[in-house]
Structure 1
Amino acid sequence: MNAEFIACVREINELEYACNSMLTKEYENLLDESITNSQIIMLNHINHYGRILTGDISKLMNISPSAVSQTLNRLEKNGYIKRSINPSNRREVFVELDTKGIKYIKINEEIELSIIERFYSKLDLADITALRDIMYKLKRIIEEEQKSR
């Protein structure tokens, strides 16, 4: 791999970090700083599926069931999620958003829309589409590489 390629990838990573840092600073007063990245990812999965089994969260996030359970315990304790036993299979536990989780997702959606309107809207649709396509391509490469292990 040549030095120019490596330098370009590093520059992309630095730019992405800089953009995320600036946006985080811009919206920090609206963000809940007590929540971790893994908790945010888990909340987003729960929101996406509406009601999901703990085992499915483990598969989606590629983490152990005990790690899922620990994270869910913290989220439940803080009012972000609620759990219920599957009546047709009592060994399975459903998870869904609770009041604080619903509020958290709503605020994040408002922040996302604000970012789109204030910043992304200044790019052409062709640029946004190209960026999306490149990110999908990179995601597929990573998934294929991880499957082959």
Structure 2
Amino acid sequence: MLHQAFNEVYTKFKLHFYQEIFRRFQDREASLTTVETFCMESIMALGRPTVNEFATFMCISPPNAAYKVNSLVKKGYIRKVQSPSDRREFHLEVTQKYIDYYNISSNYMSEVMDRIMARFSPEDCGKLEEILTVVSRELMPEVPLPERTEE
């Protein structure tokens, strides 16, 4: 039952995102391909990776990663920022254009979180936060993310 419930929630988040993306395609607002969307979500989650860090995480060759990055730079979704400590190294930063695009899913997530906090007690919300934190930090070691400060 837990497996089914978790899968249902995860699927609903994905499907909502896809609905919004396709709505934007109909309105001709979207300019990212499916693969580019996956790349952008990964770059955003990695928090300013280098091209090589991105390539390693995605398990693709550095030239393939560079090609994808250059396409995203041309479309205005990321920029390369030179490292002040190693001038040969560039970090990938998402632009406001992508943040606006990304907000399609994060706005819905915030809406659902508001509903959770209204529906459940602070104790239940605290327990859910504890469980999700353990799942992320301990039970999903294959997907390391940079530590985030509280938002």
TM-score by length of 2: 0.59
Structure 2 distance, partners of 1:30, 1:126, is 39
Q: Cα RMSD between the aligned structures?
A: 3.6
Deviates more, 1:24-33 or 1:122-131: 24-33
> Are the aligned partners of 2:80 and 2:92 in contact in 1 as well (CA < 8 Å)?
yes
More helix by share: 1
Deviates more, 1:108-117 or 1:131-140: 108-117
Deviation per residue, 1:55-83 (Å, 9 max, x gap): 45456x46456254344223212210111
5 Å matches for 1:72-91? 72-86=69-83, 88-91=85-88
Counterparts in 2 of 1:14 and 1:108: CA distance versus 1, 3 Å: closer
Shift >6 Å, 4+ stretches: none
Number of equivalences: 132
Q: What is the aligned-residue identity percentage?
A: 17
Question: Structure 2: any 5+ residue segments left out of the alignment?
Answer: 145-151
Structure 1 distance, partners of 2:85, 2:50, is 13
5 Å matches for 1:17-96? 17-21=10-14, 23-24=16-17, 27=20, 29=23, 32=30, 34=33, 35-46=36-47, 51-57=48-54, 61=57, 63-64=59-60, 66=62, 68-86=65-83, 88-96=85-93
Greater relative CO (CA pairs within 8 A, separation 6+) = 2
> Are the aligned partners of 1:53 and 1:95 in contact in 2 as well (CA < 8 Å)?
yes
SS of residue matched to 2:93? strand
The reply to whether residue 120 of structure 1 matches residue 113 of structure 2 is: no
The reply to whether residue 143 of structure 1 matches residue 144 of structure 2 is: no
Question: Structure 1: any 5+ residue segments left out of the alignment?
Answer: 1-7
Structure 1 distance, partners of 2:18, 2:49, is 32
Q: State which structure, 1 or 2, has the greater radius of gyration over its C-alpha atoms.
A: 1
